[in-house]
Amino acid sequence: MNARQQAASVRSVRDSLDRRAQALGHQMTWQAGRSGTATVEHGRCGHCGAEAVAGPTWSTCGGVRDARKVRCSGPGTAVLTDIESGRAKELAAGFVGRFVRSLL
């Protein structure tokens, strides 16, 4: 797949994902980026902070709120997502730290 075909495929996946997110009440904004060698678009809901990533043939979510599956919690709630994300990172770091210490 050449660059032009890849970009068209990403747009198609993004548009499909955007329609699904809108049906759940999300107001997504998209930004082009890269994931390894693939062209991707990162999306975030301006209301609740839900996230999604569209690739050439796939979509994923690495955040605590998945714009593909979770209904928008409404305007002004993105700060809650940021707090939840920070807490999830703290918990994961604590778990990894305890695991590493148990190996020593």
| Contact indicator for 30, 51 with CB cutoff of 8 Å | no
29-61 tens-digit pLDDT: 999 988 788 889 999 999 888 889 999 999 988
pTM of the model: 0.72
Q: What is the domain partition of the chain in residue ranges?
A: 3-103
CA distance 44 to 31: 9
pLDDT at 65: 81
Digit-coded pLDDT (tens) for 4-35 = 888 899 999 999 999 999 999 999 999 998 87
